[in-house]
A = this chain, B = another copy of it.
Amino acid sequence: MNPTTVAPITAAEPPTAPSRTDFLSKSTPRWCPGCGCFGVLKSLTATYAGLGMPRERLVTISGIGCTSRLPYYTATYGFHTLHGRAPTVALGVKLANPELSVWVISGDGDALAIGANHTLHLLRRNPDIKMLLLNNQIYGLTKGQASPTSPRGMVTRSTPYGVPDTPINPVNLALAAGATFVARVADTDGAMMEEVFAAAHAHRGVAFVEVMLNCVTFHDGAYAKITDHETRDDYALAMRPGQPLLYGKQQRKALVADHGRILALPLGDAEAVPEQALRHDPQSADTGLAQQLALMGPPDLPCALGIFRQVQAPVYGLDPKHDQEA
């Protein structure tokens, strides 16, 4: 089994069910050939088709960036807003009409540089809005400047001597903001994207999904270790609720905690998964382990993929004047 791919939802759909293409607009996407956005568009529209919601009740809202062009290519209602501001518009849409399914599409510059404040407050308020962060670790649309997720030292057009600061880890930040659903997927894994997007939709409250996105033009190969066929077994770990955290060829490496630090434990060929192996619990009240998993990554440890956290909390926008829950 491929650790970065999880089984898609396979329930057979009646022949009259809407298909993915019903959710694609007539505009031809204008991304660079090979851009990771194509895969996201595909998975998102497939997810839309599977929600059982009519097209008009879906709203796709974005900021500005290559990735933020996505609403033009869906056949839902859409709003291509301002750089960094999609969460504010989305919240207004959702509060004005709670019946709508509202999706925010954002880039790493959009959501974490100019728009990080809105992202933070969206996540802490917990409205029933879904936000995808398409993280290519670069400003694509403006042709290659450093973003808040660009790794330290990276040379870009705006950092000829290397990025001088520590990147934001989007999943860690979302957890600290108190987001009730937090996940990470790779643009190459359509099946996992669809599964996670559908789970985000099903979640009652805010959902934040980081998509590791490859920008072929300005930062190609940023996630190669995690997504390439040759290396992904060793650098991608698909988390499963209740299951031990395993990865590697034949899942022969387990994560264990040692004095609060996470380590990889190689397992023998036939060795049973030991007791001490960490198990994934996205419903834990405590975000400590989730934050540690979020920070993990190559070269020492694998990058964790899947749902980090999924808990219930009062949903914002169910009017507090009328609904005692919120």
- Measured CB to CB, the residues of A under 8 A from B are 113-117, 120-121, 124-126, 148, 152, 161-162, 164-166, 168, 172-173, 175-178, 260-261, 284-289, 291-292, 313-314, 316, 320-321, 326
**Which residue in B114, B172, B316 is a CB contact (below 8 Å) of A176?**
B172
Q: How far is B125's CA from A286's CA once the two chains are assembled, in angstroms?
A: 27
Let me know if B178 and A176 touch, CB within 8 A. no
Please, which residues of chain B bring their CB within 8 A of the CB of A120?
A: 116-117, 120, 168, 173
Q: How far is the CA of A152 from the CA of B320 in the complex (A)?
A: 11
Oligomer: number of copies: 2
**With A121-B148, A124-B148, A166-B178 given, can you name 12 additional A-B contacts, CB distance below 8 Å?**
A114-B117, A116-B116, A125-B165, A125-B166, A126-B165, A152-B314, A166-B313, A176-B177, A260-B289, A287-B291, A288-B288, A291-B291
Query: CA separation between A70 and B287, bound complex, in Å?
Result: 36
User: What 3 A-B pairs have minimum CB-CB distances, sorted nearest first?
Assistant: A176-B176, A117-B117, A288-B288
Q: Are B320 and A176 in contact (CB under 8 A)?
A: no
Q: In the assembly, what is the distance between CA of A161 and CA of B162, in Å?
A: 50
In the complex with contacts A116-B117, A161-B321, A173-B176, A168-B260 CB distance below 8 A: no
Interchain CA distance A27-B320 in the complex, whole Å: 44
Interface centre among A121, A164, A286, A321 (most CB of B within 10 A): A164
In whole angstroms, how far apart are the Cα atoms of A326 and B326 in the complex? 45
The answer to whether B291 and A289 have CB atoms under 8 Å apart is no
Question: With A176-B291, A260-B289, A320-B162 as given contacts, are A121 and B116 in contact (CB-CB < 8 Å)?
Answer: yes
For the complex, give the distance between the alpha carbons of A115 and B120 in Å: 11
- The smallest C-beta distance from A202 to any residue of chain B, in angstroms, reads 21
Q: Is the CB of B166 within 8 A of A320?
A: no
Question: Closest CB-CB distance, A118 to chain B, in whole Å?
Answer: 8
For A175, the closest partner residue in chain B by CB is B176
